[in-house]
Amino acid sequence: MNYLYRSNDAGFAVEVEAPARLHLGFLDLHGGLGRKFGSIGLTIDTLATRLRATKSRDITASGPAAERAVKYAKDYLQASGLKGGVEIRLLQAIPDHVGLGSGTQMALAVGTAIERLYGGDGDSNRIAHTLNRGKRSGIGIGAFDRGGFILDCGRGENDTIPPVPIRLEFPSSWRILLLFDGRGQGLHGKAEVGAFNELPEFSEQSAAHLCRLAMMQVVPGVMEAQLEPFSKAIGEIQQVVGDHFASAQGGRFTSPMISAALTWIAEQGFKGVGQSSWGPTGFVLLEGQSQADRIERELKHRFGELSSFRCQQVAARNVGAEVRLLQQPTRLINQKRAR
């Protein structure tokens, strides 16, 4: 996280900007070595949850995803034993349940804002644990803390957040083209839990292969800025994991429209295609702006007549969340005290 200013004075508001992330795939769904899942992910720019919070007698929120913000605020204040409330104004929110980490980023943003308002220093792992986030993946917490490319080791037998041993700067010139299907959302909540429980057993051989791809192609591809081995490995991981989840999400990818678009892109020779988490958001990894512009034009030509189809270019974000403490106008402070 980046702290731009710090104060615990009651006349300050806290602004938190928490970036979206892509979940690029699980590594070990077998779990035979005592740890399960393991994730690779990427923090992205442009899409974020941004809120401004002040102390209040009540717990209120306004703006996009306000209901979720209120729930996290109530849960966190109660669990932390803090006396008081918070007023949250949401300036921007990551779309819910489309595979971009909206829940974890909202939870961390709200929890961090409350900590700063009440003079605490709770770290992201503790906030996530308090709000029941990071149950399978640590990449959302890693994205909040430091940004960039992230690999976590999965969940062990205890109840701790998956550790993040690898965090790398992602090449700034590379582009990611996101593909959105506005007609639906990915699995979440009880449906997601049920889907995990009903999945077939993941083979030990497949887990070993994915971990090998991660360490021998994905990680060095990022470190050496070699897009070809990186994107090829990501595409293969997506195929293996997507096929494993096919029975729960209706195919390798959740959205038939996004699946058709990704199939066309792969046929053009671009191997770094996939779906973030349960989707329906898809992505394609590209070497730069001009290539991204060209593919975006082609996609709009082929799928643009479908009102629910949309695409958006983003780049990696190599910093985590930003936390700003802002002086409120004196008139606003006096109004709050008079309530």
pLDDT digits (tens, 9 = 90+) for 271-284: 999 999 999 999 99
CATH number, position 192: 3.30.70.890
Q: What is the DSSP string of 118-161?
A: TT----HHHHHHHTT--SS-SHHHHHHHT-SEEE---B-SSSSP
Q: Could you give the strand order of the β-sheet that contains 309-314, starting from the edge strand earlier in sequence? A: 273-275, 282-286, 175-181, 309-314
Distance (Å, whole) CA 284 – CA 268? 12
Based on the fold, state whether residues 96 and 217 are members of the same structural domain.
Answer: no
Asked if 222 and 132 sit in the same domain, the reply is no
Q: What confidence tens digit (pLDDT) does each residue in 54-99 have? A: 999 999 999 999 999 999 999 999 999 999 999 999 999 999 999 9
Whether residue 159 sits in one domain with residue 50: yes
Residues 274 and 320 in one domain: no
Q: Are residues 311 and 339 in the same domain?
A: no
CATH number at residue 100: 3.30.230.10
CA count, 13 A, side-chain hemisphere, 317: 26
202 CB-near residues (< 8 Å, 6+ apart): 28, 29, 30, 244
**44 and 164 share a domain?**
yes
Shared domain for 17 and 90, answered yes or no, is: yes
For residues 236 and 146, membership in a common domain is answered with no
State how many domains the chain has: 2
Q: Same domain for 249 and 150?
A: no
Domain containing 134 equals 1-170+316-339
- Same domain (yes/no): 137, 209: no
Shared domain for 218 and 335, answered yes or no, is no
Higher pLDDT: 255 or 329? It is 255
Say whether pLDDT at 43 is over 70: yes
> Do 164 and 33 lie in a common domain?
yes
